[in-house]
Amino acid sequence: MKAYHSHESGRYEVYVQSFPAGGGKQRVSTGGGLWPQWWGDGKELYYRTPDHKLMAASVSGGTSLAMGAPAALFEFRSGGLADEPYYSVDRDGQRFLLNAIVETETNSPLTVVVNWMAGVKK
């Protein structure tokens, strides 16, 4: 199976399809979706929604694919352009690496260290 996002419906949605034979395309997302990634054992598919939620849909079936209803795991605002996934899933599906915007105080001080190599012991 391969998972991908496409704009063919007028908005980005996530699909799965048999690979390499093709055919049997099935839409997974219900309200838009981008950047699908499989869990290590292929029993769950993750993707990001346009409203910043990370979704998970269970996958079952042998010769025919059966997708469970997508469920929201958590929300995060990705830190960058929309053309990158900004998340990665660990093999066990229990941990995620996120490139996310973290809210901070607008007046937080910035510390710049100059000549820092002089302080490094060789």
Kindly report, residue by residue over 25-60, the tens digit of the pLDDT.
889 998 999 999 988 777 889 999 988 899 999 987
Strands (E), 8-122: 13-17, 26-27, 34-38, 44-48, 53-60, 66-67, 71-75, 87-89, 96-98
Residue 40, in any domain of the structure: yes
Residue 82, in any domain of the structure: yes
At 2 the pLDDT is: 85
CB count within 10 Å of CB 45 equals 25
Specify the pTM: 0.73
Domain count, the chain: 1
Q: Which residues of the chain have pLDDT under 50?
A: none
Residue 29, in any domain of the structure: yes
At 17 the pLDDT is: 84
Residue 26, in any domain of the structure: yes
Residue 74, in any domain of the structure: yes
At 62 the pLDDT is: 60
Dihedral angle sign, alpha carbons of residues 73, 71, 103, 84: positive
By three-state DSSP, how is residue 16 classified? Answer: strand
Domain encompassing residue 29:
2-103
Residue 52, in any domain of the structure: yes
At 70 the pLDDT is: 94
Separation of CA 75 from chain center? 11
Rg (CA), the chain: 19
